[in-house]
Amino acid sequence: MQEQHLYEYAVIRVVPRVEREEFLNVGVILFCKRAKFIKVLFEINEGKLRLFSNDLDVEQLTLNVQAFAKVAHGEKDAGPIGQFDLPSRFRWLTALRSSAIQTSRPHPGLCDNLDHTTQRLFEDLVL
């Protein structure tokens, strides 16, 4: 029997106009403390985003989501937050905020393959 991993995930959302509270799912972040695992998958679909707002700066939005992923993965150019330990980065990324990039509340799960589960969640919730 394969080892089961307790994980948490959140959906990454773009909120083109915060005052309207409408959003589009653009990615997922999956975190497993025990396995020291964190992974972000995202896709910016400009066509779908244009349905929400014609004046959205998609290039800047893409850069912002890329920065989000850099923080999650602890890359050297992710600034001081990117240097936090893994659980702290996940908690910072999933904290409630009022900005164009938000996340759902974290949801728990169990799986035996974290990469596969991240991909499945991405396909189910974003694509």
Q: Do the Cβ atoms of 109 and 7 come closer than 8 Å?
A: yes
Strands (E), 44-105: 101-103
Per-residue pLDDT, 21 = 86
Per-residue pLDDT, 126 = 98
User: Of 12, 85, 18, which Cα lies nearest the Cα of 44?
Assistant: 12
pLDDT tens by residue, 42-56: 999 999 998 888 888
pTM over 0.75: yes
Other beta carbons within 10 angstroms of residue 101's beta carbon come to 19
pLDDT tens by residue, 94-113: 998 878 899 999 999 999 99
Dist. CA 72–CA 103, nearest whole Å: 13
Q: What would the mean pLDDT of 8-37 be, rounded to a whole number? A: 94
